[in-house]
Amino acid sequence: MASPSQLLLQRFSRHRMAFASATLLVILVVLTAMAPLFERVLAVSSSEVDLFNRFAAPNIRNLLGTDELGRDLLLRLLYGGQISLFVGITAALIASTMGTAIGLLAGYVGGRLDGFLMRLTDGVIALPLLPLLIVLAALDLSKLGLPDTLVNSENVSFYRIILIVSLAGWTTTARLVRASTLSLREQDFVLAARAQGCSDLRIMMRHILPNLTSPVIVATSLSVGNIILLESVLSFLGLGIQPPTPSWGNLLTNAQELIWESPELAFYPGILIFLTVIAFNFVGDGLQDALNPRTGKHVSSTT
Amino acid sequence: MIRLCLSRLFQSALVLIVMSFVIYLLMGLMPGDPIDLMVSSDPDMTSQDAQRLRALYGLDLPVTERYLNWLSSALSGDFGFSRLHAKPVFTVIGPAFANTAILVGLSLILSLALGLSMGIWAAANPYSLKDYVINMLAFAGISVPAFWLALILIMVFSVGFGVLPAGGMSLPDETGMWNTAKYLVLPVCSLTIASIGGHTRYMRAAMLETMGQDYIRTARAKGLKESQVMLGHALRNALIPVVSIIALDFGALFSGALITETIFAYPGMGKLIFDAIMGNDYNLALITLLLATLFTLGGNVMADVVYGMLDPRIRISAGASD
């Protein structure tokens, strides 16, 4: 007999694309984490401007060549990857925490609160996402009464983009979690917990939340891809991560103007976004199959 | 059914009113200030003048009062002037909307034609090589960053082969079908590729689910040809959720092509919204954002209503829960 987690791993690795994608993601994370090491070994810089070495062809030191300011492209891609992956994963986690809290509360408490929270979710889903995110990204933070030290600090564009893109991702999780909570709260073990005198908070946190793990994991892994796409779009438009800090999105901003001189500058960041997003989507798909063996393709394949 | 429609409409109207206030508030938090813009364009203006202008335009009032003023003039049909275009807001929106309708309409038709048939084809051969390849393509389609795809298309067809323009729209002296059409090819292609994956996956999933139903087994047991079972029995029901997805797409028509239009410098609604936000054109940004919200909400209501009309099961359960 295999343990549940072994079974899970078995089912996941049977989904070949998901397994290959998970491997690719691990490699990407390790490579981007090793950026400082590459910087030292290759003796090139991701930030130092070298105007005598602009648009260098790939060579032994600049493995992918240099950009319009003579900075090493490979290193900028790796450092950009650190930012893009971190923003994507963090925002997805924040979004699914928000979604889980809202869905759990709505599903467990029910009644008016449920009605209100779900109408709110419906309302947010029915909004034109991208234009509104652009407005939020363009806001003048000092008009919000935030202290100047915070507004002018270098990291503000970083925190702001994480917050903004996580606002986009919580609705799916909230709906999924609510649906699962509705059926879980009618189960006997919840009744047993209530009979023992557990408080509502304890029932939600200790008895229902652990059973929500699989829908939340699936929703989160499926939303990371979307969130990375949103971050790259906003950064591309100049509203996300601000240069000189690189992100895969903002590396493409200049590339559009330089497309005649140096098309490869536009190629690499995009292909990395593409690979990362497709990998997260495959992993999400694989997790969905592995965690809910009764839904999805297995039902239809047996009929 | 009528109750469902009415409650949906009422709910959407509520969201729209709330959003009009939220968007109004957000506009006030945008960088810059209309009076500062006037001051910077006129060196003779003193700070007293600026103060008087502020009072004249009512900008020294509290935000709720300003919102109500705006709302009452908007409801009487006065939406103000666009700063960037120096025209009344609505005369700017008309042509942009027509352009977007052409662009998004064409790509929606293409994407549906290709995506739905690929989805049906994949579902007809589940877990075969065909299905596998179509699935891979669909995953690629939903994962590709639309703006990068646009850049790659420009790179190949404008920079590489030099056969298609990288952006813009036909000039008045360029006449003929091809001259109008050639500016549309790349934007339509990139929008189509970006949405085709979603359509394929929806269609495939809906088909597979329907194919598992009992009445399909009955149809097969009657000895119908597989094509009759697929197209006559399964497709009709599988299309129900897909039709509601199309209604949602329709709602996104107004702002959905923002990135593509911006990259190809195509003068449609998306670019209009983006330029208005970035160029401190408050009046224009406010109205276009509200219209975008109105359209998206409309698409959602349409999706729900269409679903209810096509699927009696939904109608009954919605009636029962009321």
DSSP secondary structure, B65-79, as one string: HHHHHHHHHHHTT--
Select from A229, A250, A294, A302 the residue whose CB has the most chain B CBs within 10 Å, as the one to mutate to test that interface: A229
Among B299, B311, B226, CA closest to A122: B299
CA distances from residue B195 to A88, B252, B320 in whole angstroms, order as listed: 22, 12, 36
CA distances from A20 to A49, A214, A276, B133, B243 (A): 37, 21, 12, 16, 34
Same domain, B195 and B113: yes
Q: Check whether residue B105 and residue B244 sit in a common domain.
A: yes
Cα–Cα dist A2/A10, whole Å: 10
Is residue B13 in some structural domain? yes
Q: Any bridge partners for residue A193, and if so which?
A: none
Question: Do both B131 and B207 map to the same domain?
Answer: yes
- CA-based nearest distance B241→chain A, Å: 16
Count of domains observed in chain B: 2
CA separation for the pair A219, A143 (Å, rounded): 35
| Each residue's pLDDT tens digit, B281-303 | 888 998 999 988 888 888 888 88
Q: Which residue of A has its CA nearest to B216?
A: A303
Average pLDDT over residues A93-110: 94
What distance in Å separates residue B225's CA from the closest CA in chain A? 18
- Asked if B61 and B186 sit in the same domain, the reply is no
Among A residues 225-244, those touching chain B with beta carbons less than 8 Å apart: 225, 229, 232-233, 236-237
Rounded Cα distance, B25 and B47, in Å: 25
Q: What are phi and psi of A105, to 5 degrees?
A: -60, -45
- Looking at B278, B299, B317, which one is the last position of a domain? B278
Comparing CA positions, the residue from A224, A302, A274, A290 lying closest to residue A18 is A290
Interface check for A255 against chain B (CB to CB < 8 A): the answer is yes
A294 touches chain B (CB under 8 A): no
Domain containing B197: what range? 92-278
Mean pLDDT of all residues in B188-211? 91
Chain A: residue whose CA lies nearest to B210: A300
Which of B242, B257, B278 delimits the end of a domain? B278
**Are B112 and B246 contained in the same domain?**
yes
Tell me whether A274 touches chain B (CB under 8 Å): yes
CA distance B248 to A126: 9
The residue ranges of every structural domain in chain A are 4-45+59-279+290-302
Residue B20 lies in a domain: yes
Q: How confident is the model at residue A123 (pLDDT cuts 50, 70, 90)?
A: confident
Instruction: Look at the pTM and tell me if it is higher than 0.80.
Output: yes
3-class DSSP state of A72: strand
Which residues of chain B make contact with A255, given a CB cutoff of 8 A? 151
In a domain, B181, yes or no: yes
What is the pLDDT averaged over residues A150-169? 83
Q: Does A216 touch chain B (CB under 8 A)?
A: no
- Per-residue model confidence (pLDDT) at position B253: 66
Q: Is the ipTM of this complex over 0.90?
A: no
In a domain, B305, yes or no: no
d(CA A251, CA A253) in angstroms, rounded, equals 6
Which CATH number characterizes residue B274's domain?
1.10.3720.10
Rg, C-alpha atoms of chain B:
25
Query: Is B314 in contact with B240 (CB distance < 8 Å)?
Result: no
B251 and B187 belong to one structural domain: yes
B266-291 average pLDDT score:
89
Chain A residues touching residue B252 (CB < 8 angstroms):
128
Would you identify the CATH topology of the domain A4-45+59-279+290-302?
A: MetI-like fold (1.10.3720)
How many whole angstroms separate alpha carbon B261 and alpha carbon B269?
8
* pLDDT band of A113, cuts 50, 70, 90: very high
Averaged pLDDT, A237-245: 87
pLDDT at B256: 61
B123 plus B267 within the same structural domain: yes
Establish, for the pair of chains A and B, how many residue pairs have beta carbons separated by less than 8 Å.
Answer: 140
Whether B111 is in a domain gets the answer yes
Residue A297: the pLDDT is 43
Q: Predicted confidence band at A245 (pLDDT cuts at 50, 70, 90)?
A: confident
Are B47 and B128 within one domain? Answer: no
Which pLDDT does position A219 carry in this prediction? 87
The predicted model gives A103-131 an average pLDDT of: 89
Inter-chain touch B155–A267, beta carbons under 8 Å: yes
Q: B102 and B229 share a domain?
A: yes
Q: Do B145 and A277 touch (CB under 8 A)?
A: yes
Query: pLDDT by residue (tens digit) across B60-95?
Result: 778 888 888 888 888 887 777 787 777 888 888 888
Nearest C-alpha in A relative to B24:
A135
Q: Show which of B78, B112, B128 is a domain's final residue.
A: B78
Helices (H), chain A: 4-14, 16-33, 35-42, 73-109, 111-125, 129-138, 148-151, 156-184, 188-195, 200-202, 213-236, 248-257, 263-291, 297-302
**Amino acid letter, residue A257:** E
